[in-house]
Amino acid sequence: MILYKVKTTYDVGGSRLTNEEKRRYKSSKRRRRQAVVAAETGRIVPIGTGRKKAAVIGGAALVLVFAVAFAAVYFFRPDSKSEAENEAPAQNKMLLRVVNRSNPLKSDYVPELTEKDGVKVCSDMADALGEMLEAAEQSGIELRLVSGYVSYEEQGALFQAKLEEFRRLPDFSEVRAQAEAAKLVPGAGESEAQTGLLVEFDISDDSAAVFLERDCVKYGFVRRYTEEKEDITKIKPSRSLYRYVSKEHAVKLRSFGMCLEEYEEYLSAQGAAV
């Protein structure tokens, strides 16, 4: 087989040039342009510098565009939070903490406490509690506190006392006595009274009970144990026990018709920190 080398030709100014001749023609043309620039400016510009300079500038501009776009996405994304927002105070995390037999508190847990009308309560809710007591007084309602913070040891003693009551009842086995006592008085570490965020009011006056039921969420409180949620809370319903959760969460709890256990589960499903 015989291979032939074919030369490609072009028409330039009426003449037909080969590829090699065309390359030489373009090179000489660039050199002539170089000579003209040198004569005008007194500076010899290397052949191809303009194109290379444009390429470098274009590349730098492209890198800058990508850098700005990355910064915008990283620093201004909707879910970005400041360090201060991500590091909530440890005490505030207790606001929505469910405490029961499955989620007990340690024996050495003691919140920061303050005294309100002779009752110790968590400092985080002291102002809100004071506002609610003042609002009731201005409405002509005497809203009195019965109890607030209860220590781990005190709670254990209260549970044992209630347990003894059930043990003395006929036909009550130890298992049944334990179960019934826990529905009324949780054991040590199993009561939200240890958080200082659960308070008991005197509701012997119906007007006090109505005021609490109607206006508690305005001040960040919710009725903790209701008839509708007994199967979930495992605690006997009480009209006098109210839990502080902050105004924002109190409104949501009432709006959603949830107890704290359900709300905590809802927030976990939404990916919120509890």
Q: Which CATH number fits domain 90-270: 3.30.1380.10, 3.40.30.10, 3.30.750.210, 2.130.10.10?
A: 3.30.1380.10
**DSSP secondary structure code for residue 205 in this structure:** S
Tokens 């990355």, residue located:
70
CB 137 within 8 A of CB 207: no
pLDDT of 197: 98
Task: Tell me the CA distances in angstroms from 83 to 86, 87, 88, one per residue in order.
Answer: 5, 6, 9
Please report, for residues 102, 177, 189, the alpha-carbon distance to residue 157 in angstroms, rounded to integers and kept in the order given.
20, 16, 11
Distance of alpha carbon 220 from alpha carbon 122, whole angstroms = 14
Give the containing element (helix H, strand E) for 181.
helix 174-184
Q: What is the spatial distance between Cα 214 and Cα 264, in angstroms, rounded to a whole number? A: 23
List the chain residues with pLDDT less than 70. Answer: 1-92, 272-274
Give the 3-state secondary structure of residue 104: coil
pTM for the model stands at: 0.67
pLDDT of residue 93: 81
CB-based burial, 25-59: b 16+ in 10 Å, e otherwise:
eeeeeeeeeeeeeeeeeeeeeeeeeeeeeeeeeee
Rounded to 5, what percent of the chain is helix, strand, coil? 55, 10, 35
The C-alpha atoms of residue 260 and residue 242 are separated, in whole angstroms, by 11
Q: Please write the tens of the pLDDT for every residue from 73-82.
A: 444 444 434 3
* Burial class (CB within 10 angstroms; exposed 0-12, middle 13-18, buried 19+) of 136: buried
CATH 3.30.1380.10 domain span(s) along the chain: 90-270
